């Protein structure tokens, strides 16, 4: 079984500044994937970034990047040049192909506020 832990229930950042959201996970699998999803007040869950465990290079999507530390089982999300539209719940998630199922295991989420 996989577990995902987000230790920061809430965080805030000034507009245009950088913020890092933490995530740790636990798995015995070697082939797995890690994700960050964003859920704004509209409730739509939006895929922010995806990381394949076998790739050492950290994934980047525009202002969003991750710091993937495989040995430490850590997967943090860095948001640069924060914008008001970044305010949302952020969920870290993992998936693996064990037993032929790819369901996502989510952390509890971090609520990010952006201060103008």
Q: Which residues bind other proteins (CB under 8 A)?
A: 33, 35, 37, 42-47, 50, 91, 95-97, 99-109
Cβ neighbors of 25 (< 8 A, separation 6 or more) are 2, 3, 4, 5, 34, 73, 74, 75, 92, 94
Q: Which DSSP letter does residue 2 get?
A: -
Shortest distance (Å) from residue 8 CB to other proteins: 15
User: Which residues have C-beta within 8 Å of that of residue 42, sequence separation ≥ 6?
Assistant: none
**Smaller CB distance to other proteins: residue 16 or 46?**
46
Q: How far is the CB of 115 from other proteins (least distance, A)?
A: 26
- Smallest distance, Å, CB 12 to other proteins? 22
């Amino acid at each position: 079984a996989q577990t995902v832990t987000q230790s920061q229930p809430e965080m805030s950042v000034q507009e245009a500044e950088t913020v890092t959201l933490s995530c740790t996970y636990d798995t015995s699998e070697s082939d797995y994937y890690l994700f960050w999803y964003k859920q704004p007040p509209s409730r739509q869950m939006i895929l922010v970034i995806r990381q394949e465990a076998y790739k050492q290079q950290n994934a980047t999507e525009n202002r969003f990047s991750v710091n993937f530390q495989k040995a430490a089982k850590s997967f943090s999300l860095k948001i640069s040049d924060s914008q008001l539209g970044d305010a949302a719940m952020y969920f870290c998630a993992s998936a693996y192909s064990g037993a032929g199922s790819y369901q996502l295991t989510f952390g509890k989420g971090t609520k990010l506020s952006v201060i103008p």
